[in-house]
Structures are given as C-alpha cells and as structure tokens.
Chains A and B, each alone.
Chain A
Amino acid sequence: MSRRLLWPLAALVVFLIIAAGAPWLSPAAPNAIPTEGIIASSPPSAAHPFGTDPSGRDVLSRVLHGTRISLGIALLSVAIATTVGTLFGALSGWIGGRLDAILMRLLDVALSVPRVLVLLCVSALWGALPLPGLVLLLGLTGWYDVARLVRGDVFALKDREFVVAARAMGTGETRVLWRHVLPHIWPTLVVTATLGIAHTIALEAGLSFLGLGVQPPQASWGSILSDGSAMVSSRWWITLFPGIAIVSAVMTCNALGDALRETLAPGQVAA
C-alpha cells in the first residue's frame, strides 16, 4: 500500500475509533453541568484539557461525542446519496434513449439550484430538524454528482464487448448490469463517496453553526462552534478544538479520496 494511502487511512481509523468509543474515552458526559461550585467557562486545565464552556460542560467530552454525531451524519447521508445516485445513474445510462434524456435534464434542473440554499430553506422552514431528518436532507441533496458519474460510466460500459457477450450467453438484463457492469464502477463510487464525506462534514458543521442543523444541547462539531462563536476572543478554547476536529477530518477524507483516485484510477477498467 502506498504511503499516500496509508496516512489518511490511519487517521480515518483514529476518527472512527473516537466516534465508536466516545462514551468510554470521554472524562465526563457531554451535557453534564457541574453540581457544585461556580458554573463558569474555565480555560484548559488538568481536569478539563480542552477547558469548559459557559455552562461548565467539558469541551473535550463534547468534541469526542460530537465526533460520533458529525461523522455519523456524514457517513449515513453519503450512503443514502451513493445509493440513490447509483440507482438513478445506472437506470439512466443503462436504458438510455428518451428516458436518459429526461432523467439527465431533471438532474440539470436539480443541479442548477445551489445545495446550500436548499439546505437552508428546508431546515429553516422545518424549525428544529431531528437527526434522521438532517441525514435524509443531506443524503437526498447529495446524490446528483454520483448519478452523473455512474451514468457516464454505465453509458461507456454498456456497449463493451463483454456486455454483449454476457447477453449472447442468455444472461438477463438485471444480472448483466449487476454482475458485469456495476463491479467496474466501484472505484468511482469509493472515491466519490470519500470526497462526499469530507464535503458533508463541512456542510453539517456549517448548518449546525447557523443553528439549523444539530440542535442544542446535542453536541456536534458545528454546534459546539456555534456555542462558542460569541466569545471567540475571550474563550478561544471552546471554538478552537472543534475547529481543529473539523479541519482535520475534512483534510483526512480529501487526502484519502485523492489517494484512492490515484490508486484505483477510476474511469479505467481495472485489468
């Protein structure tokens, strides 16, 4: 395995361990408010390595639990986007003809509306969006690029000789698509999904920062940023640590996506 792939992969594993083990790794519960003493925001100390917020909650514990929420939302919504996009794109490219033309024009319409605008409108109109709703919203607005890529790949593959040969052997259309065509699209899907995760982490953080995503007191990287945004200069530790988490997670996924793109070389059929 190339070094380019190794480092981001290792970093991703660390993030996943943190997400899975947040309740055990955290020194305190994410929403726990001290029961005695003065409730105030304190700078990093031995007891609270990332400091506490104005409600006295431990920022480290909140960031660790936020990892779970932020990554969970990103992974699930990208899974939805990849599934929907693959089905849509494969259908369009495989059947082709008029259906392809109609589906692709619909996709053009969908792509012409900025995603952030849709996200802002829906989440603002909805009020407090529950987590499953947020996942669905991010998933159902994130599949357009996947659909286009898959459609292009399927379109290029469907007249290849091995596809004709499979048909000549009596293989049914669904099986040809599933067994003979889709395996060639895996590299494209893996790369797109990885880059999609990076994008979605940033989007979710943005929405939560604006108060439209994950709702307080639930901790996500974006919502912690939002909590601390009014006091960046005096209580820097509340925004710094979730900020670092967001930047490093996004960079990890981008680096992984780029490394995978080079390793798997999508577009070329693996020989």
Chain B
Amino acid sequence: MTSPLLSVSDLRVSFQTDAGVARAVDGVSFTVSAGETVGIVGESGCGKTLTALSLLRLIPSGGKLAPSSRVEFEGADMLSIPERELRAVRGRRMAMIFQEPMTALNPVLTVGDQVAEVVRVHTKRSRSEAWALAVAMLARVGIPDAAARAAQYPHELSGGMRQRVMIAMALVLEPALVIADEPTTALDVTIQAQILELLRELRERIGMAVLLITHDLGVVAEMASRVLVMYAGEVVEEAPVESLFAQPIHPYTEGLLAAVPSLALASQTTQERLRTIPGTVPPPTAWPSGCRFRDRCEHAWERCATDAPALVQVQPAHRVRCHLVQEPERRRT
C-alpha cells in the first residue's frame, strides 16, 4: 500500500486561558489519500477548524502544539519543517478555502490581485502572466466576464461570487490537497448547491484530495467518501460515508443524523418534532472525565464516567470511541 497523501497522528493543540488549559484538539489522528474526499463533521467548538488550521501550521497566537503531534504531508513533517519550506507548501501543494469569503478576502485589494498574488508568491511568472492566469482561473470557477470582474473589489461581488474567488485562490496552482472549511455555510441554499457542484467538478479535473470540514451532514453525504465525526476535540467515529449513514454506532453520530430535518418528516400528519441532542459541547477547559459525551448521552452508565473509551475498530474501515461497542446490551431502545 502506498503511503497516504496526508497523515495526521495524535494532533494536540492547547491554549492557556484564565479558566485553565483548553485542550481544543486532543489527540486527533486520520489520513487522507491522494484524490480522496474526507469529511470532518461536528458541532461548533469541537475543534474542526483548529484541526484544519494546524495542518498548515497556522495555529492562532497562544495555541501550543504538543510535541507528540505529527502532520505528514507528501513526506514532509508540516509541524517541524523550516518556515521557508512550509510557505512553499501552503497555497501550492495544500491550500485552504475559508468559510467566510467576506472576511477572508482583503477588502482593499482587487480579487484578481488576490488570485494573482498566489501565483506570484509561488512561481517566477511576471505580473502580467500571473494576472492572465488569475483571470483564466476566475473564468474556470464560473465567474462570468472574468476579465472585468478581476479588477473589482470583494465588496462589489455577491456572496456566491466571492466564494468562487476564494476557490480560485485556493485552486489556481492545482494543489494536491485542499482544505475546505465550511465552504458553503455562509451562502444561500441555491448557491450552496452550485458551489458544491463546482468543487466536485474541479476535484475531478485537478485530481486533488479534499478535506471537507462542515457541520452539514447533507454536504458530507454529497461530497465525501469517508467521514470523521469530531466531538470535544476528539474523533468519536470514523467510517465510510455509506456505513456511517446506514449504521451509525456512536450515540453522538446517531444524534447528529436524527437532528437533520427532512421534508418527509414535515409532511407527515403526525407532527413529530425534530430530535435534538440535549445540552451543548462542554468548554474545552473542562472536558468531562471518562467519556466526554456522557453528559448528553441517553445510554450513559457508570463506566462512562470513570473510563475514557478508546477509538476501536469495529469493521475494517469503521472506528468508534464508545463503550457500547463492548457492551451493546447497554444500549437503550
């Protein structure tokens, strides 16, 4: 078997806060193969975005990486290579699409400039060559009249167009891996579908791997082949997308799936209410002892409070962090 494109092991990022040490990402491991699309799903505050930023070593000030953390990408350890080599990877081999293009694009630079800058930073192309490439890329992501649009500022474009610009910036050098952090969350539903379609199309053409970070299970179902479910800084379940949707094992995954509204539900005559997971993600300074989900879990018993579950393999590609795997009779129906 060839080694994966990206291999993350025991990634831990913590922050020193007034309330104590916040272990925001706490021992996350996963791999992404070339050309594969992997989804990371979880509620706000579970460490998804921080995990993504850590892959590019873009840890917010104050954040500390544990020495055991490893992020290996195309054979290089992203967490220890010199700054110069790291910059050569960023944007060229591994790029990121940010959630909110309004804030992730610089308001004082034209969108063409911002796409061309990626080219200029990484290649020896001249200013005009870079600009031409930027315009071509803007056209490729479906911006009509790209040559004129390139000279406009972000505030002159609609939200969907801005996200297309973001995608153009990330993909202009055809990276091997693109991290898409909630790429459709800030957009209208109709635009969301267009953007996903665009990402799928470019993924096929460029042959890149995608790490898709989202809280939207619908997006994951459409795009990803494998899913990681994160909760409280940990991976709680990892499975191919079909088996995750067909037979979720972790109660948190079950809860997430049950909390997706469906039109079928709305049309039912018996007004069944949408299920929710009670409570919220605990603050990262005070993860509960034992299983971190036990306070919100309907199946929890004594063992869950004292004994932290490990991520165990239940099927060849399905791993779960829950005591129910060993004691399925505890599951309440």
Contact = CB atoms under 8 A, between A and B. Distances in A.
B283 to A, nearest CB: 21
A165 B168 CA distance: 13
Nearest to A97: B61
A271 interface: yes
Interface string A128-163: 000000000000000000000000000000011110
Given A168-B56, A169-B169, A270-B108, A162 B103 contact: yes
A166 interface: yes
A164 interface: yes
A269 B90 CA distance: 27
Interface stretch (A4-12, A65-73, A176-184, A244-252): A176-184
B117 to A, nearest CB: 7
B60 interface: yes
B118 A162 contact: no
Interface in A170-190: 170-172, 175, 179-180, 183-184
A167 interface: yes
Contact of B155 (A160, A166, A183, A271): A271
A96 interface: yes
A167 B98 CA distance: 12
Contacts of B53: 164
Nearest to B153: A271
Given A168-B95, A170-B89, A161 B107 contact: no
Contacts of A179: 109, 117
B265 interface: no
Nearest to B89: A170
A168 B56 CA distance: 7
A162 B104 contact: yes
Contacts of A175: 121
Contacts of A184: 108
Contacts of A161: 98, 100, 103-104
A70 B122 CA distance: 48
A164 to B, nearest CB: 6
Q: Which one of A164, A172, A184, A269 has the greatest number of beta carbons of chain B within 10 Å? A: A164
* Range, interface on chain B: 20 to 34
Nearest to B92: A170
Contacts of B95: 168-169
B107 A169 contact: no
Nearest to A184: B108
A181 to B, nearest CB: 9
Contacts, number: 72
B96 interface: yes
A168 B108 contact: no
Nearest to A183: B108
A182 B167 CA distance: 25
A172 to B, nearest CB: 6
B104 A165 contact: yes
Contacts of B108: 183-184, 269-270
Interface in B39-74: 53, 56, 58, 60-61
Contacts of B141: none
Contacts of B87: 170-172
B106 A180 contact: yes
B58 A169 contact: no
B105 interface: yes
Given A161-B103, A165-B104, A170 B109 contact: no
A169 B91 contact: yes
B260 interface: no
B98 A165 contact: yes
Interface in B67-119: 87-92, 95-96, 98, 100, 103-109, 117-118
Contacts of B170: 169
B90 A172 contact: no
A160 B104 CA distance: 8
Interface in A79-137: 96
B91 A168 contact: yes
Q: Tell which of A159, A170, A179 has the most Cβ of chain B within 10 Å.
A: A170
Contacts of A167: 58, 90
A238 B100 CA distance: 64
B121 to A, nearest CB: 5
Contacts of A164: 53, 58, 98, 104
Contacts of A180: 106, 109
Given A165-B104, A168-B56, A96 B61 contact: yes
A180 B169 CA distance: 15
A114 B170 CA distance: 51
A270 B108 CA distance: 7
Given A168-B90, A170-B122, A171-B87, 14 more contacts: A160-B103, A164-B53, A167-B90, A168-B58, A168-B96, A168-B98, A169-B91, A169-B117, A169-B118, A169-B169, A171-B117, A179-B109, A183-B108, A183-B109
Interface of A: 96, 159-162, 164-172, 175, 179-180, 183-184, 269-271
12 contacts: A159-B61, A161-B104, A162-B107, A165-B96, A166-B117, A168-B58, A168-B98, A169-B118, A169-B170, A170-B91, A170-B121, A172-B87
Interface of B: 53, 56, 58, 60-61, 87-92, 95-96, 98, 100, 103-109, 117-118, 121-122, 155, 166, 169-170
Cβ-closest 10 pairs across A and B: A169-B91, A170-B91, A170-B90, A161-B103, A165-B104, A162-B106, A168-B96, A183-B108, A161-B104, A170-B87
